[in-house]
Amino acid sequence: MMKAEKPKISEDLKESGNLEEVVQKAWEEERDVKDWHFLNAVEIGAASGDSDFLNCLFENCRLTESGFGNLYFADAVFSNCDLSNADFSKCLFRRVRFENCKALGTNFSEAAFESVVIRGSVCTYANFSSVKMKNCLFEESDFSNGSFQQCGFRSAAFQKCNLTQAEFLHAPLKGVDFTTCEIGGILLSGPELQGAVVTAVQACDLSRYLGLIVR
């Protein structure tokens, strides 16, 4: 069974409600943003610079339309945050959790996910195209109309997720279990489903495709 490593968050974090100020200082000093608890921070359209985020907790933050592209996030938790339309493209996420977050239209394209958990979140229209995933869990979240085009799924699991009209073109789904998910109207060309695990009802909806494992 797939198991994602938990973030290793220390208990003695520094607290700030001003993410931009902390990031700016780290950038000026050419160091990472490390050991911070960002609480109730509101940064709309902010740019993160070149500093990576290590051992950080983001709680009740609004980071909509902000730019975090091409950064490294390790041992981080986003809890009850609004990340809608933010840019996380080409980021490396290692031991990161998104809990009860809003990520409408958020861009994760070409990122790398290692031990990432997304739980209880709304990620409609989010872009996960070309993301490489290893030991990842997506649970009780809404990914409807999202894009998983050309994703690489290595020990990734979807549990009780809404994947209605999500796009999986050119994303091999061998071993991916959709039996607890809503997959009506998913977009693919056919070969992606070979080896995917679906229910009998789902198999009827996908009967035009070959290579299904039906339970």
pLDDT band at 41 (very low <50, low <70, confident <90, very high): very high
Those residues whose C-beta lies under 8 Å from the C-beta of residue 25, and which sit 6 or more positions away, are none
Q: Would residue 2 count as lying in a domain?
A: no
Q: What percent of the chain has pLDDT over 90?
A: 73
Write out pLDDT tens, residues 141-151.
Answer: 999 999 999 99
- How many independent structural domains does the chain possess? 1
pLDDT tens digit string along 157-169? 999 999 999 999 9
**49 inside domain:** yes
- pLDDT band of 34, cuts 50, 70, 90: very high
Q: What is the mean pLDDT of residues 96-100?
A: 98
Cα distance between residue 84 and residue 126, in whole Å: 9
**Structural domain range at position 131:** 14-214
Q: Which whole number is the average pLDDT over 175-189?
A: 92
How many Cα atoms occupy the beta-carbon half-sphere of 5 within 13 Å? 13
